[in-house]
Amino acid sequence: MGTDSIVWVDEVDPATAVAVAGSKMGRLAELHRIGVLVPQGFAVTVEAYRRHCAESGLDGRIEQVLADLGTDPAEREVEQASATIRGLFAATAMTPQLEAEIVAAYEELSDRCVEVNPPTAVRSSATGEDAADASFAGIFDTYLGISGPQRVLDAVRACWGSLFTGRALAYRLRKGISHHDMPIAVGVIELIHARSSGVAFSVHPVTGKADRIVIETSWGWGEAIVQGLVDPDHVEVGKTDDRILRYDIAHKKTVSAFDFAEGRVTEVAMPERLADRQVLDVEQVVAITEAVKAIEAHYGYPVDVEWVISRHRRAGDPICIVQTRPVTVTSAQAAPAAYDPVALAQKYVFSGKPIPGR
């Protein structure tokens, strides 16, 4: 699609992908280029966000709300300003042209997925999330299970508004960072039908030991882990020989599953037959380990990788990677200074929140 409002993960130039599509979507494009399996999808670009704010008058209204805050606002005032700005995004329509471009891209995604109105993950993808002096990991929103053109449009606007969550707004105010310095793109990617999912570190996230891969996993999608609603299985794997060093099976009380009636991913009680069952077999552990090692080798520093095993995956198939980011470790092998250690504490960006007003 030849506009500056939409770019596709498998078509955008990886050299410019982060600037155009934000950090999260840009890295997916980089991984796709080196042969890693990633979800199909597109990004509503940084330029589309900027143009929307300028042409709709949002820029001026946002500036007024921020000016009214002053230099040292109370937490309550920051939260009120956040709610006001997010309400402005929810209430401000896109131009008919931009709406048509996003709908056309979603319809193309439907064709690529061979599915009518496929469920998607609509993900905030800000350009400044990994700056050396600013850590925004986990602050911006992602909405899972979004299906149908109108709900996708609503979710895009909600993601734009999440640039002004209370946490993000307070952080920028403390650091003296302008929101203009970190414009936001939004990814719309196919929601992989998850048998299981999780996170994997290419070094031990606590000790920094570089001789092992550490995996945390549960059934379904990863939201139950993010929200602290489930204890995941914990796996440690030798990096040189893919040998499982330990596998701790947790009692898993909650699972994130797709609610077809609500049209979103939600949390339900874990079926008894799965609560104490080991999530990953040896083949799956090795496949995750090999994918993480390949990603670490590509970037040249320790990585934190989010992955999903599709319910359609067969033994020998690649693991689907939905996000990667650097980690900071305590060993001599460290991530570059351009990445903030706070990112380590935020394993996922998925919030699983309903779209405001829907």
- Alpha helix ranges (H) inside 256-305: 272-275, 282-299
Structurally, the chain folds into a number of domains equal to: 2
CATH number of the domain residue 143 falls in? 3.30.1490.20
| Rounded distance between C-alpha atoms, residue 215 and residue 162, angstroms | 29
The helix (run of H) or strand (run of E) holding residue 142 is strand 142-146
| Rounded distance between C-alpha atoms, residue 64 and residue 74, angstroms | 17
Return the minimum-mean-pLDDT range out of 92-101, 208-217, 252-261, 311-320: 252-261
Q: Residue 137's pLDDT is what?
A: 56
- Residue 145 β-bridge partners: none
Q: Residue 138's pLDDT is what?
A: 60
Strand order in the sheet with 233-238: 244-248, 233-238, 212-219, 194-201, 303-310, 320-326
* Dihedral sign from CA coordinates of 271, 277, 281, 285: positive
Higher pLDDT, 186 or 176: 186
Instruction: Residue 53: name the closest of 120, 44, 122 by CA.
Output: 44
Average pLDDT, the chain: 87
Last residue of some domain: 135, 163, 190? 190
Instruction: Residue 158: name the closest of 49, 47, 23, 4 by CA.
Output: 49
Instruction: Residue 265: name the closest of 212, 197, 315, 319 by CA.
Output: 197
Instruction: Residue 31: name the closest of 325, 260, 239 by CA.
Output: 325
Same domain, 186 and 229: no
Q: Averaged over 25-53, what is the pLDDT?
A: 96
Q: Residue 136's pLDDT is what?
A: 55
Instruction: Residue 317: name the closest of 43, 67, 36 by CA.
Output: 36
Contacts of 353 (CB under 8 A, 6+ apart): 141, 143
Same domain, 157 and 222: no
Q: Residue 355's pLDDT is what?
A: 34
For 92-117, how does the pLDDT look when each residue is reduced to its tens digit (9 = 90+)? 999 999 999 999 999 999 999 999 99
Q: Averaged over 29-45, what is the pLDDT?
A: 96
Which residue range forms the structural domain that includes residue 91? 6-190
Last residue of some domain: 170, 190, 210? 190
Return the minimum-mean-pLDDT range out of 21-35, 83-97, 259-273, 302-316: 259-273
CB 230 within 8 A of CB 216: no
Count CB-CB contacts under 10 A for residue 338.
11
Return the minimum-mean-pLDDT range out of 19-28, 79-88, 332-341: 332-341
Same domain, 123 and 67: yes
Q: Residue 356's pLDDT is what?
A: 34
Place of tokens 């991984």: 31
Q: Averaged over 215-238, what is the pLDDT?
A: 89
pLDDT band, residue 3 (cuts 50/70/90): confident
| Rounded distance between C-alpha atoms, residue 225 and residue 221, angstroms | 9
Q: Averaged over 227-253, what is the pLDDT?
A: 94
Contacts of 144 (CB under 8 A, 6+ apart): 119, 121, 191, 221, 223, 264, 265, 350, 352
For 261-300, how does the pLDDT look when each residue is reduced to its tens digit (9 = 90+)? 777 888 899 999 999 999 999 999 999 999 999 999 999 9
Q: Averaged over 37-41, what is the pLDDT?
A: 97
Residue 342 has pLDDT above 60, yes or no: no
Same domain, 184 and 296: no
Same domain, 186 and 200: no
Residue 357 has pLDDT above 60, yes or no: no
Last residue of some domain: 190, 217, 232? 190
- Alpha helix ranges (H) inside 114-182: 149-161, 166-175
Place of tokens 């650097």: 326
Same domain, 310 and 323: yes
Same domain, 77 and 220: no
Higher pLDDT, 246 or 177: 246
Same domain, 171 and 207: no
CB 302 within 8 A of CB 335: yes
Same domain, 145 and 210: no
